[in-house]
Structure 1
């Protein structure tokens, strides 16, 4: 067992929990907002996933198997597009419905500041859930790399391959996951502001654009991860995150001008 690997797991999980909470705290204090908006973002991410995740789990394997006769590359590409569209539709339409109906019913202003906080809660709770998975992986690593811990494991080639991959982990294999979470939070904030803009300006085209943008990020990540590796995948997500920062700054200024007028 490598203590540096265990420490990296722990640090990554800690940052994936602390960073969104710290960002939420800063937004709440900076703009005098309510944590309720952050919690609504977190709550409705979970509600959306309660429907989205089981549907994906049930349908993705049959779809992939049905497309295999056309070739593994075609099947993977089609599956990536499908998974991306499912994520985009469920999450962005979910955001839209919350803004359109729940915010107004609870008299929460449709402001850029609340959009920022809502997106932080939405992406933040996803980061926290991933942190729990990271901690689970850390415990698995500790158990499997400890003496005598493999006695209860089945003698299956696939299981043994997973064990060897876990044993071969280095800190550099774990850190990209943290970078991905931070970039994903940025993207969730960008999408939250875009969907908010679609409600504020009455432009459904912005909702459609958010769905397509979200779908593109997920589809490219699903396709690149098994074909090009994690570093290429994270580089692609980084490009989208930079675009997300640019959009956040642009929409922030535009909504600020609108609020002042």
Structure 2
């Protein structure tokens, strides 16, 4: 067991929880968007996943098996596109419904500040959930690679291979996950503003664009992670995140100009 790996695990867990909360706090202080909107973003992300996640778990294996006769590459690509579209449809249509019906009925203004905070809550709670998964990974690493032999392991080659893979971990294997969370939060804010714009300007094309953009990011992540490795995957997500950040600034100025007119 390497102490540097344990420390990296702990730092990643801490930052994946603290950064989204700090972002929400900054938005409250800087723009006056209430914590309530951050919590609504978190709540509706969970609500969408209650339906989305079980549906994906039930359907992805049969779809992959159905596509497998066409070749593993085709099957993986088809599965990646399917998973991406499912994520895009559920999450972006979910955002649209919340803005158009829930926000209006509750008298929550459809402002750029609230769109920013809603996206921070949506992406932030996802980051917090991932942090708990990383925490479970840290516990597994400590238990299975510790010198004290916390639990007896079966003399099974598959189990031994998993333990050796854990022992081979370095901090550089863990840090990309933290970078991905930060980039994903950026994208969730961009998508939240784009869907908000679809409601405010009554332009369904922006909703469709948000769905396709989200689908492209998730599909690329699934496919590239299996074929090109983590570094290439994170590089592609970084490019998407840069476009997301550029869109945030563009839409922020446009909504500000509209509000001032």
The alignment's TM-score, normalised by the length of structure 2, stands at 0.98
Measured against aligned partners, the alpha-carbon deviations of 1:105-128 in whole angstroms (never above 9, x if no partner) come to 110000000000000000000000
Match in the other structure for 2:218:
218
Q: CA separation in 2, counterparts of 1:189 and 1:157?
A: 45
Q: Equivalent residue for 2:8?
A: 8
SS state at 2:33 partner: coil
Q: Quickly say closer, same or farther: Cα 1:227–1:59, change in 2 above 3 A.
A: same
Aligned partner of 1:128 in structure 2 is 128
**Backbone CA RMSD of aligned residues:** 0.9
Alignment match, 1:58 = 58
Separation in 1 of the partners of 2:158 and 2:93? 39
* Whole-Å separation in 1 of the counterparts to 2:175 and 2:54: 29
Cα distance change, pair 25–53 in 1 and its aligned pair in 2 (3 A) = same
User: Take 1:97 and 1:189, find their aligned partners in 2: how far apart are those partners?
Assistant: 16
| Conserved? CA contact 2:32–2:113, under 8 Å | no
Structure 1 segments (4+ residues) deviating >6 Å: none
C-alpha distance in 1 between matches for 2:83 and 2:158: 25
In 2, Cα distance between equivalents of 1:49 and 1:82: 16
Q: CA separation in 2, counterparts of 1:158 and 1:204?
A: 50
Q: How does 1:52-131 map to 2 (within 5 A)?
A: 52-131=52-131
Gaps (5+ residues) in structure 1? none
Contiguous gaps of at least 5 residues in structure 2: none
In the other structure, the counterpart of 1:164 is 164
The secondary structure found in structure 1 opposite 2:235 is: helix
By how many angstroms is 1:31 displaced?
A: 1.4
Decide whether the 8 Å contact of 2:16 with 2:127 is kept in 1: yes
Give the equivalent residue in structure 2 for 1:186.
Answer: 186
Residue in 1 that maps onto 2:228: 228
1:243-254 residue pairs with structure 2 within 5 A?
243-254=243-254
Partner residue, 1:21:
21
CA–CA distance in structure 1, aligned partners of residues 118 and 251 of structure 2: 15
Aligned partners of 2:141, 2:166: CA distance in 1, in Å? 6
